[in-house]
């Protein structure tokens, strides 16, 4: 009997990379690999990288330096770099770190089995193409093992917006949507394996056009899949928030009352410099329309502070927008230069000023987040049970509003949706009792 080879994947960045790592593992499963949680005993190590954050490439090179001694111990070990840093750096990765055997971009990882065969022949493997074929159709079917009750499902990739700070159009390519029938097939397969909630993923997911009704048409079709109880989607662009998608938040019960809708800045001057193609006012009016459709919806957003040439007045405009929206969640970052993007050549804000702005923004966002969590006390919500807690009789899960909830004295099984009453708000979670 052949001993399975061990595959270790380290995933950086967004939910789409989590999904991609799952599919890479499945692709390599056909080559006799099984996943391991330790790099120390792996036969192949894949770093699935993200290029969004500051010094992303240098962090990858640092990790490769830490992995290099493993190859000295095991000369047969294969090390690969996948994802957006692989797409951006290409051959430079192999030049700087000879321990790397394989480099594959995010649109080419369905070719991993063929690349692994090249490695067995003693060759290196590099593939950062944007192939015409559908990578999802070339991947082997997911094995029928049980899954956690919540799963990611990629429906759209790439972006045509070309925000001045973003590398996604260069590393993920143009916007491409998966055909609805293939998405529905994968969703039904996930449900068969225990999934009750899917989060539809895309770099610009509400630009999805693989269904005649766009993203809202896909959501309405998914809502008819027997056993699929909850639907979410991320990440969206304000300019693609069409009327029928807003309406879906009102009349599709399976679509959860949570929406991540990045704005990046509250200053029209900075938004124009970012090439965001919307204004603070148009964004606020859009939020109003969404809340008219679904009054209890919780909003989430993204912010960049310290963007080149951002003034105190620009930053204050961002703070004012946050005060008006009151986000339940938000992700804020200090601007970092991405080589090759239009903003990369512009003069930077003083780092200490940017740090101060980030701390002030995060403090305001945290205040709003805690205020919204406290407002949940006494309310009845539904919790998708995902795992057991540390204490006896305690189960953990997510509410329809994406809050983490600890349910005390809970006899509901993993995968069930329990109706509960919130009794306490903690810093990052809620506590509830079964109804």
CA–CA separation, 164 vs 141, rounded Å? 38
14 is in an annotated binding site: yes
Closest to 386 in 3D by CA, of 414, 428, 418, 416:
414
CA distances in angstroms from 20 to 14, 64, 74, 126, 139, listed in the order given: 10, 20, 27, 18, 11
Which residues are 113's β-sheet partners?
A: none
159 is in an annotated binding site: yes
CA–CA separation, 83 vs 48, rounded Å? 5
The conformational region for residue 206 under phi > 0 = left, psi -120 to 50 = alpha, else beta, is alpha
CA angle 18, 23, 26 (to 5 degrees): 130
With a CB cutoff of 8 Å and minimum separation 6, the contacts of 200 are: 153, 154, 155, 183, 208, 215, 218, 219, 222, 231, 232, 233, 234
Tokens of 352: 């200490």
166 is in an annotated binding site: yes
CA–CA separation, 257 vs 363, rounded Å? 24
Tokens of 182: 């293939």
CA–CA separation, 313 vs 418, rounded Å? 47
CA–CA separation, 329 vs 161, rounded Å? 24
Tokens of 347: 């003069």
84 is in an annotated binding site: yes
Helices 312-325 and 280-293: crossing angle in degrees, nearest 10, is 10
Closest to 340 in 3D by CA, of 65, 61, 27, 89:
89
| Binding-site positions | 14, 50, 84, 159, 163, 166
| Binding-site positions for [4Fe-4S] cluster | 14, 50, 84, 159, 163, 166
């Amino acid at each position: 009997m052949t001993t399975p080879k061990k595959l270790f994947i380290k995933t950086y960045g967004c939910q789409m990379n989590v999904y991609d790592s799952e599919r890479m593992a499945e692709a390599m499963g056909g080559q006799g690999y099984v996943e391991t949680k330790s790099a120390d005993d792996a036969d192949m190590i894949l770093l699935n990288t993200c290029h969004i954050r500051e010094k992303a490439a240098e962090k990858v090179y640092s990790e490769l330096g830490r992995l290099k001694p493993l190859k000295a111990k095991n000369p047969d070990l294969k090390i690969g770099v996948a994802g957006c840093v692989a797409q951006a750096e290409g051959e430079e990765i192999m030049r700087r770190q000879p321990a790397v055997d394989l480099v594959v971009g995010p649109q080419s990882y369905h070719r991993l089995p063929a690349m692994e065969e090249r490695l067995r022949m003693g060759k290196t493997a590099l593939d950062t193409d944007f192939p015409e074929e559908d990578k999802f159709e070339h991947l082997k079917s997911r094995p029928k093992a049980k899954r956690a009750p919540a799963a990611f499902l990629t429906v759209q990739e790439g972006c045509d917006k070309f925000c001045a700070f973003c590398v996604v159009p260069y590393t993920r390519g143009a916007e491409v949507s998966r055909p609805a029938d293939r998405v529905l097939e994968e969703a039904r397969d996930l449900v068969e394996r225990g999934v009750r909630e899917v989060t539809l993923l895309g770099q610009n997911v509400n630009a999805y056009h693989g269904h005649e009704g766009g993203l809202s048409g896909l959501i309405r079709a998914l809502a008819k899949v027997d056993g699929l109880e909850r639907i979410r989607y991320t990440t969206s662009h304000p300019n693609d928030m069409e009327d029928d998608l807003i309406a879906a938040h009102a009349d599709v019960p399976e679509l959860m009352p949570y929406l991540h809708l990045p704005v990046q800045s509250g200053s029209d001057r900075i938004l124009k410099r970012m090439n965001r193609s919307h204004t603070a006012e148009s964004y606020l009016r859009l939020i109003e329309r969404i809340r008219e459709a679904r009054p209890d919806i919780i909003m989430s957003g993204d912010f960049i502070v310290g963007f080149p040439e951002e003034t105190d007045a620009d930053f204050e405009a961002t703070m004012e927008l946050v005060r008006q929206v009151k986000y339940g969640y938000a992700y804020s970052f200090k601007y970092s230069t991405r080589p090759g993007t239009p903003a990369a050549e512009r003069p930077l804000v003083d780092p200490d000023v940017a740090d101060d702005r980030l701390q002030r923004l995060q403090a305001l966002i945290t205040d709003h987040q805690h205020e919204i969590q406290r407002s949940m006390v006494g309310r009845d919500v539904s919790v998708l049970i995902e795992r057991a807690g540390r204490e006896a009789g305690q189960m953990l899960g997510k509410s329809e509003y994406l809050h983490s909830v600890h349910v005390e004295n809970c006899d509901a099984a993993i995968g069930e949706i329990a109706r509960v009453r919130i009794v306490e708000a903690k810093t990052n979670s809620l506590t509830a009792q079964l109804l």
